[in-house]
């Protein structure tokens, strides 16, 4: 009898970009240098993801918990985000990539919220792929906000209605989640959305995660059998 259908190419790849600080430490560089290297890698890696035919690429760039990091590190990260929007939105427009940001922007400096809105607006015609940046994002906070909205509506909601109350409404659920940087955990990323996501963990620190390693992860995914509880 034929085996279960294998997974093939994921439609949505989510990436937890972890290990930037350790990458810098190994080189006796400040953590900020690791974040810069990580941002540069993120830009070319997301291009590689779309080149392979993936429709949606979500990158976890800052969690709600990361907002408790020292002020100096946060300042550096916010500057990097500003730089990212200033330099990359035009590139995304040219490549017909739609930009979407998920997370609680009210936790970030106001001007970042404005850059996000402008970036989303400028790229809104993009139909070749969707790049989702998770900034100030927390899975529990995402779920809780949806629960509270459902409560305000004053009635029970279905799974579909609940999904539509999350930041990720309009997006397919992630098929493949890649986490770099050795840790074997989800760190409050897409908790509801990753119920049936395939996980791929690697020790490689994010700035060292090459396109070849992406291909290795995609190959591993392609061979997975997704059963969704069936046999």
The distance from CA 99 to its chain's CA centroid, rounded to whole angstroms, is 12
Catalytic residue (one of 18, 20, 88, 175): 18
- Identity of the residue, 22 or 95, whose beta carbon is nearer to ligand IPE in the bound complex: 22
Contact (Cβ atoms closer than 8 angstroms) between residue 92 and residue 99: yes
Known catalytic residue: 18?
Answer: yes
Is 198 an interacting residue with respect to Mg ion (CB under 5 A)?
Answer: no
Is 22 an interacting residue with respect to ligand IPE (CB under 6 A)?
Answer: yes
With both helix axes pointing from N to C terminus, report the angle between 110-122 and 71-94 in degrees, rounded to the nearest 10: 10
- Identity of the residue, 42 or 56, whose beta carbon is nearer to Mg ion in the bound complex: 42
User: Could you give the CA distance from residue 16 to residue 93 in angstroms, rounded to a whole number?
Assistant: 24
Residue 139 CB, nearest approach to ligand IPE (Å)? 11
Output b/e per residue, 100-115; b: 16+ Cβ within 10 A: bbbbbbebbeeebbeb
Is 185 an interacting residue with respect to ligand IPE (CB under 6 A)?
Answer: yes
- Sketch the per residue contact string, 14 through 53, with Mg ion: x for CB under 5 A, - otherwise: ----x-----------------------------------
Is 63 an interacting residue with respect to ligand IPE (CB under 6 A)?
Answer: yes
């Amino acid at each position: 009898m034929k085996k279960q259908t294998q997974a093939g190419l994921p439609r949505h790849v989510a990436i937890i970009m972890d290990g930037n600080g350790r990458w810098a430490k190994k080189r006796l560089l400040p953590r900020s240098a690791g974040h810069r290297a990580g941002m540069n890698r993120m830009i070319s890696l997301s291009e590689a993801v779309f080149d392979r035919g993936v429709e949606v690429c979500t990158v976890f760039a800052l969690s709600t918990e990361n907002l408790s990091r020292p002020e100096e590190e946060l300042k550096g990260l916010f500057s990097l985000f500003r730089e990212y929007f200033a330099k990359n939105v035009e590139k995304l427009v040219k490549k017909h990539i739609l930009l979407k940001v998920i997370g609680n922007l009210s936790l970030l400096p106001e001007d970042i919220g404005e850059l996000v809105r402008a970036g989303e607006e400028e790229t809104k015609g993009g139909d070749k792929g969707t790049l989702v940046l998770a900034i100030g994002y927390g899975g529990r906070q995402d779920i809780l906000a949806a629960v509270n909205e459902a409560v305000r509506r004053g009635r029970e909601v279905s799974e579909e209605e609940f999904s539509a109350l999350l930041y990720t409404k309009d997006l397919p659920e992630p098929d493949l989640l890649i986490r770099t940087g050795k840790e074997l955990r989800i760190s409050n990323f897409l908790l509801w959305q990753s119920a049936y996501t395939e996980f791929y963990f690697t020790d490689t620190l994010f700035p060292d995660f090459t396109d070849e390693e992406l291909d290795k992860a995609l190959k591993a995914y392609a061979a997975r059998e997704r059963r969704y509880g069936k046999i």
